[in-house]
Amino acid sequence: MSTQDGELSTSRDTHLAEAEGAVLRADDLIAGYLPGVNILNRADLYCREGELVGIIGPNGAGKSTLLKALFGLVKVHSGTVTLRGEEITNLRADALVTKGLGFVPQTNNVFPSLTIAENLQMGCYQAPQKYAERFDFVASIFPALAQRRSQRAGSLSGGERQMVAMGRALMMEPSVLLLDEPSAGLSPALQDEVFVQTRAINKAGVSVIMVEQNAARCLQICDRGYVLDQGRNAYTAKGQDLANDPKVIELYLGTLAGRHNK
């Protein structure tokens, strides 16, 4: 399968048909921060129940903007976001959390002056009765957090902070989790851990949409991937097919990353 024969460049109609019944979908999104400046230019995306979907693409492509648009943090000018068939376009983030959407932003994703336990409590402030049960789930994915629950998040390493941020988003029992570059800034060993943990979260029944700078690794573990470029989908296919595609390797992964995927 290669981009030369066009199989990876799924047409909008095909994509639309495949999106039928998806747990979360975004159709034809145009969105941006400033009037008249669109960052998303007709972006489409869907995630099926239980899927792990990866989004890769160059810096500035609009990957973070797409996640923020799904989570009500960037104004969607046109197009729709739908969760389990219900339109949720431009709803506020707190309303989306109660509907089962979780989001871990790319930066500033913990409260540094609060302890790990307090950060996790903040995660379920809308349903504090869930705390004990959800804490056990989070500890099953991130045992290190349970051991150090009284430590202030500001004194943690980058990898540990990332666990707190992901743990906090899991406290409300999301059915769909949006992760923005969870492996950014981490050592290769810690990046591996994040990918394993993300897979574990997904295996526990959470649908995951992850934006990743480690594109090769992301495409290895995800069920399906999107390449976003200039605010719109360039390619969509199974993660492994994207990872092995000569055009995607040349444009987005580099020859070295391509070799590693063989």
Ligand X SMILES: Nc1ncnc2c1ncn2[C@@H]1O[C@H](COP(=O)(O)OP(=O)(O)OP(=O)(O)O)[C@@H](O)[C@H]1O
Both ends of the chain: CA-CA distance in Å? 14
In the beta sheet, which residues pair with residue 232?
A: 229
Contact between 6 and ligand X (CB under 6 A)? Answer: no
Task: Give the residue at shortest CB distance from Mg ion.
Answer: 64
Q: Among 25, 63, 134, 148, which residue sits at the site for ligand X (rule: CB under 6 A)?
A: 63
Q: Among 64, 89, 202, 236, which residue sits at the site for Mg ion (rule: CB under 5 A)?
A: 64
Contact between 107 and ligand X (CB under 6 A)? Answer: no
Contact between 38 and ligand X (CB under 6 A)? Answer: no
Taking residues 155 to 184 in sequence order and writing x for each that binds ligand X by CB under 6 A, - otherwise, the string is ------------------------------
Chain position carrying tokens 């690794």: 217
Q: Among 4, 6, 33, 205, which residue sits at the site for ligand X (rule: CB under 6 A)?
A: 33
Nearest distance from C-beta of residue 28 to Mg ion, angstroms: 21
Q: At what angle do helices 188-203 and 131-141 cross, to 10 degrees?
A: 130
Q: What tokens does 16 get?
A: 């639309």
Q: What tokens does 250 get?
A: 């040349």
Q: What tokens does 33 get?
A: 């921060």
Nearest distance from C-beta of residue 184 to ligand X, angstroms: 8
**Binding segment (CB under 6 A) for ligand X, from list 20-28, 55-63, 83-91, 251-259:** 55-63
What is the C-alpha separation between 34 and 31, in angstroms, rounded?
9
Q: Among 3, 38, 65, 89, which residue sits at the site for ligand X (rule: CB under 6 A)?
A: 65
What is the C-alpha separation between 219 and 196, in angstroms, rounded?
13
Query: Which helix (H) or strand (E) covers residue 12, if one does?
Result: helix 12-18
Question: Is residue 153 within 8 Å of residue 161, measured between CB atoms?
Answer: yes
| Residues making contact with Mg ion (CB under 5 A) | 63-64, 106
| Residues making contact with ligand X (CB under 6 A) | 33-34, 39, 57, 59-65, 106
